[in-house]
Amino acid sequence: MRLLRNLRLRFALWATAFVFAAVALYGAFAFFTMGFFLHASARDSLRLAADQIAASLEVESGRIQSPEHLWETSNERAGHGLAAVRVVDKSGASIVRDGWAEPHMPAISGGSLRPNFRLVEPDLAVLSLPIVKDGIAFGFVQVAQSTEALERMLKALLLVLACSLPIFLFGSAASGYFLATRLLKPIDIMTRTARRISEEDLSARIGLPPSDDELGRLAATFDEMLERLEGSFTRYRQFTADASHELRTPVAVINAILEVTKRRPRTVEEYQAAMRDLEAATRRLEALVSALMTLSRSDMGASAPFAHIDLGDLLQGSVDSLRPLAEEKGLSISMDIAPGLEMPGDSDALIQVFINVIGNAIKYTKCGGVTIVAGEGEGEIRIEVRDSGIGIAAAELPRIFDRFYRVERSRSADGFGLGLSIARSIVERHRGSIEVESDLNVGTIVRIRFPK
């Protein structure tokens, strides 16, 4: 039973069964077809000889006249392939009887005007042909031919088929097992690769040569899946490590403040300063936890139900809330927002995107201003936030959406490196896209697109 669970063996057994059925059917067809044509040849030969004999006979006054000679010699009869000849009149009286097989010939039954072909023992083919004149049968010609040679040919054919069948079966079983082994080799490699994969090591790949067949595409898809899984686990580990590091910082600050404060009695002013430091560290910790919860809900696909919203109103509200920060730095904010930018979405989440993107533009711009342009075209809504800030190096642009990634830690020490990651997650949840174009010391452009 364990062997029957082997797919190669089952494939070989099925191939053997199909080949056995095919060879058996073909052998039966060949045997019976050969027998039919051989007997048809014998029947045609006997009919020709019987017609020649009937043509040599004469009917006078309703009686068949005995010919002076039918065959000159027995050798002449044998030369026509006949083993016996018999001519009888309508009463059954024999007129001609010749040949070694004549005693084995069956009696002629009168009344039928059609030729009658029969196979009798010992290996004889017998044809009875009525002698007809004016629609009346006056007698019969009966000729016989040995079928021993035909039977030997059929027996030889049957022997060849019987002997070749085991060879075909063995060949089909061996070839079926060989083909199954070749075809299932990629699956074996996939199985061994899957067994080597673990959470600690996702680097294993099947690595089959490229091919456009089903197994080749399956192996390529399997490798692509492993690559995505490895990337996901790598990002997960990095995210866990970065989150632990970021959480450790405010917690360490809180512990340090408490440890220093309780070493000796403090004045009221010192306690108040310590409380302010604790409050700042707690707010930073609260902001980090809130950002992590937002990312977690986004990863799980949890969000508020979409409602019909006006992006122009959301952009206007976001700019109004950030305008004091821009005025404090002496920056100008200009807007060019087309009316009627409506779409289904989560307004709170989208406000978080706009606050983050516009807030970054204000934060990293020292002079000049920020421009927000929004419009629609080609079936989508396009939003651009442009600034004249310090910009981002081209080498760092591909990583700015990575979680906890900071372009320059010295300039963004007050952030966590999660803002753009959260923004992209929200935009993609709305079936949109976000991209950044930037030049150092020139400025940055953030483009957001939503399907109309």
Q: What are the structural domains of the chain?
A: 3-153 (3.30.450), 214-299 (1.10.287), 307-451 (3.30.565.10)
Number of residues that this document lists for the chain = 452
pLDDT of residue 410: 38
pLDDT of residue 409: 43
Q: Is 183 exposed, middle or buried (0-12, 13-18, 19+ CB in 10 A)?
A: middle
Q: For residue range 355-369, list pLDDT tens digits in order.
A: 889 988 998 888 888
DSSP-derived secondary structure for 23-47: HHHHHHHHHHHHHHHHHHHHHHHHH
pLDDT of residue 295: 65
Angle at 114 between CA 109 and CA 118, to 5 degrees: 60
Show the low-confidence residues of the chain (pLDDT under 70): 1-6, 61-62, 65-81, 109-113, 134-135, 198-201, 238-239, 241-243, 245-246, 291, 294-304, 403-417
Name the pairing type of β-strands 332-337 and 369-377: parallel
The whole-angstrom distance between residue 385's C-alpha and the CA centroid of its chain comes to: 45
Residue 333: φ, ψ to 5°: -125, 120
Sorted by sequence, the CB contacts under 8 Å of residue 93 that are 6+ apart come out as none
Q: Which helix (H) or strand (E) holds 334?
A: strand 332-337
User: What DSSP designation does 366 have?
Assistant: -
- Give the torsion sign (CA, 166, 168, 173, 178): positive
pLDDT of residue 408: 58
Angle at 185 between CA 183 and CA 186, to 5 degrees: 95
Q: Are 343 and 381 in contact (CB under 8 A)?
A: yes
Distance (Å, rounded) from C-alpha 344 to C-alpha 309? 6
**CA-to-CA separations, 218 to 182, 187, 204, 221, 427, in angstroms, rounded:** 15, 9, 16, 5, 32
The whole-angstrom distance between residue 421's C-alpha and the CA centroid of its chain comes to: 35
Which two three-digit tokens encode residue 28? 């039966």
pLDDT of residue 111: 58
pLDDT of residue 403: 67
pLDDT of residue 411: 45
